[in-house]
Structure 1
Amino acid sequence: MASLILAGDSIYLLVYMRQSYQTSMQEVFGVTFTQLGVMNSMYGLLAITAYFAGGWLSDRIATRTLLVFSLFATGLGGYYMATIPSYPMLLALHAFWGVSTILTFWSALIKSARLWGSAGDQGKTFGILDAGRGLVGAIMFTAGAWVFSRYVFVADGLIAVIMLYASASIVAGCFVWAFIPEDSAHGSLRGGKREAVPAGQLRLVVRLPAVWLQAFIILLAYWLYLGSFEFATFAEKVFGQDKLFGATLSAYREWLRPLSAITAGILADRIRPTRAVMICFVAAAVGYAVLAAVPGDVALLWMLWIQVATVAMAVFALRGIYFALMEESRVPLLVTGTAVGLVSTIGFTADVFAYPMIGWLLDTFGAKTGYTYYFSLLSCAATVGFVLTLLLAGYNHRGSLSPLATSEASQDQRAPD
């Protein structure tokens, strides 16, 4: 699990740099907020096309092979980014990352984590995974902020941070190669041998209402998570703080992730994942509503810290447990990779629309009004997420299981610790 944790966060440091260094990237690369949004949207478009194919791939190729390739490819892309390429090449780089961090990585990571835990502790399993990823992220964001502060010129500091994040991905690839067994992701791990995935079973997964409900729950939860990337820029543009304050706020946000994820995982195992997810949606709705209403007064910075903590803990808790919904809904282990691919294809489409949306709002209405509109939308999204999770809880309670899930229930097998 330690290797999965290290890999699971290191690979995304470069892709989501804008959460801490948005204004610095704008200055160094010479792009607008909208263009930054388009860069991430390009990543999202390629990622969306890769999620489902990646699920299919993870049911057929060993985890170590997929993860190592992804980590090394992403890190090498980071070294290229440090040369400060042109905007068209940045678009191409983000498209490349859409493949290297999703097609060969994401479903393999989630499948490995699900197999690592037992049926009764899926909440804790995914909580541990995301808590660990959060700890790695917090350490790396803190290290990045420290490295950035050592340089007088913004460009030099940003390049140093890019090199740090790229190297982290390469190092994670080395750890995965050294510590994850070669056959740990083959098929369903029945007796250590890879099993073929019958086409009829795939059709049953597509027809499961629970899978589609989970997809839209994750879509809304992930959009809330992406919204939290804006806290640094919000502090700089609305509260008039400097870039170092923004980077520090992002590091503070990341340090809340481990505790939030593991607490949510334990809670989910005790009261069921759907109930824990509903609590998180309520907290996020309230937190974003307050951020939408708060004026950009320096005297109210204390409120900013509190609401950042409220929203961050809610969205990190959601990320820590929303894949645990699969076990509650009895999605079969045999097709976990494919199910994750289908859910992720829909669930992570926020990567496509969220960044252009906030970029357009900021360029069109300015920071204060733009963020008021955006955070209000996110509060509404959290409310819709609560309703969908309530529907999923009702569906699960009625025991609407697929024949495939029922047949697997009596022979649930997991990877050894």
Structure 2
Amino acid sequence: MLKGKNAVILLILSVIAGLVYLTPFLRFSFYDQMKEALQLTDIQIGAIGAVYGTFNVASYAPGGFLAEKFDTKKLLLVSCAGMFLCTVWYSFYPGYAALLIIHALYGVFSVGTFWSAYLKTVRGLASEREQGKVFGISEGLRGLGQTAVAFLCLGVLGLFATNELGFKAVLWVNAVSFAVMFLAVLFFIPRSQKDRASGQEEGKQGAKKENLILKSLKSPSIWNCIFIIMCGYALWNTVNGYLGTYCTRVLHIPENISSTLSIIRSYIIVFVAGVTGGILMDKFPSKGHGMMAAFACTLLSVLGVLVTGNVLMLCVAMTVVLSYMVNAIKSTYWSILGDAGIPPEDTGMATGIISLIGLTPDIFVSPVISRFITWGETNGSVERGFLLMWAWMGAWALLGIAFSWILKQRRKKLGIQ
């Protein structure tokens, strides 16, 4: 499907997309080690996640403008450099207040200067009929890069006697990875071919963009995409953020084994779900049909984890199945834009607006789930807190089914073939 230069561009973009979300989300794989090394509470880790999520969301709309105005190569270089410097600072364990600032900056560099530019470029690498495949392949490559770095981090962590030293080394592995990707962008990504408009033309473009923003905010297509993506992202964020510590605290699996399972669920499964999910999604009559099936399977997987809780190996297997489903949704939900009736030329602005609202789970998932867990602990059973988490996930899956049905009906109404 992709050859030569386009394949290289997709590979580099996908690996960076993996890294910019691996580092801020190290708690996904190393929750308990991070908690010990930095001497943090569950509530503080939740607050760090909320700060990161808030700046993520605040950066989506500006990111849409940046993707339209600036060369993709420059934005990628800024992102890699910014993530490198923040991670080096992080490695010195500068204290809780500084960690909040670092994660705020992570939000700017992983979204504001990267996200919409990434989506716009990837969408432009393939035809509308192949959107599921190209986004699925990108998600798969992203997962491969994350897996390689995450397992390297796990190996490095095991070389040290304490989590304090080991987690510091993990941060340096991430920093070096950003430096390598900076060089890859510098030498292998070409400059974007952009029209050099005159000042008068730029003024017209600015007025056009203002009209496009207002039009987008009133568009049922945009809101349909927002709600589907919000449901999928809330599920993904919950699964990746808290299944690891669930295995440690409820299933009583040792930390190192739990981290290994978290890496498998969070990164290896990303590759498998990305490639197979994209192929399967394109085989459904519409993206609405495919998303309905994916959310329904996610709901069944949540129920599966609940009913197998007393059978360790079966329960662990069900967490892997659940991870596959939420990653299959996440790897393909950007492919719904065409079925919703959003034209390719509006992608940059549309993704900025959709992301601004649809990815708000970055703000509220961590604080909500951390409070569920803390409530369970203070009432004598952490398992009770996790039961609330499973109910939360079931609700999001049901909403996802409903909004996917609306997408199916909208495609039919618009007469999209």
Output the TM-score relative to the length of structure 1.
0.90
SS at match of 2:46: helix
Q: 2:225–2:340: 8 Å Cα contact kept in structure 1?
A: no
Q: Of 38, 46, 49, which aligns to 1:37?
A: 46
User: Deviations 1:291-347 (Å, cap 9, x if unpaired)?
Assistant: 34543x5xx221222211211111111111100001222312222111001100111
User: Paired residue for 1:213?
Assistant: 224
> How far is 1:177 from its partner?
2.1
User: Paired residue for 1:268?
Assistant: 281
User: Paired residue for 1:375?
Assistant: 390
User: Paired residue for 1:256?
Assistant: 269
> How far is 1:201 from its partner?
3.3
> How far is 1:400 from its partner?
6.8
Q: 1:274–1:390: 8 Å Cα contact kept in structure 2?
A: yes
User: Deviations 1:199-233 (Å, cap 9, x if unpaired)?
Assistant: 33333322220111111111110111011121111
Aligned AA (2:390): F
Q: 2:15–2:146: 8 Å Cα contact kept in structure 1?
A: no
User: Paired residue for 1:360?
Assistant: 371
User: Paired residue for 1:100?
Assistant: 109
Runs of 4 or more consecutive aligned structure 1 residues displaced over 6 Å after TM superposition = none
Equivalences for residues 17-96 of structure 1 within 5 A: 17-96=26-105
Q: 1:289–1:376: 8 Å Cα contact kept in structure 2?
A: no
Counterparts of 1:289 and 1:187, CA distance in 2: 53
SS at match of 1:11: helix
User: Paired residue for 1:3?
Assistant: 12
Work out the percentage of aligned pairs sharing the same amino acid.
Answer: 25
User: Paired residue for 1:415?
Assistant: none
SS at match of 1:12: helix
Counterparts of 1:400 and 1:50, CA distance in 2: 34
User: Paired residue for 1:236?
Assistant: 248
Q: 1:223–1:350: 8 Å Cα contact kept in structure 2?
A: yes
User: Paired residue for 1:15?
Assistant: 24
Higher mean C-alpha displacement, 199-208 vs 126-135:
199-208
For structure 1, the 5+ residue unaligned runs are 402-408, 410-417
User: Paired residue for 1:201?
Assistant: 212
> How far is 1:15 from its partner?
0.4
> How far is 1:64 from its partner?
0.8
User: Paired residue for 2:349?
Assistant: 338
Output the TM-score relative to the length of structure 2.
0.90
Does the C-alpha gap of structure 1 residues 36 and 58 become closer, same or farther in structure 2, counting only changes over 3 Å? same
Counterparts of 2:369 and 2:212, CA distance in 1: 40
Equivalences for residues 98-177 of structure 1 within 5 A: 98-177=107-186
User: Deviations 1:105-127 (Å, cap 9, x if unpaired)?
Assistant: 11011011001111210010101
Does the C-alpha gap of structure 1 residues 274 and 169 become closer, same or farther in structure 2, counting only changes over 3 Å? farther
User: Paired residue for 2:323?
Assistant: 312
Aligned AA (2:391): S
The answer to whether 1:394 aligns with 2:403 is no
Counterparts of 1:6 and 1:196, CA distance in 2: 32
SS at match of 2:22: coil
Aligned AA (1:390): W
User: Deviations 1:154-207 (Å, cap 9, x if unpaired)?
Assistant: 1111111111112112211221222221115x489xxxx999462333333222
Aligned AA (2:177): A
User: Paired residue for 2:6?
Assistant: none
For structure 2, the 5+ residue unaligned runs are 1-9
Q: 2:232–2:330: 8 Å Cα contact kept in structure 1?
A: yes
Q: 2:34–2:163: 8 Å Cα contact kept in structure 1?
A: no
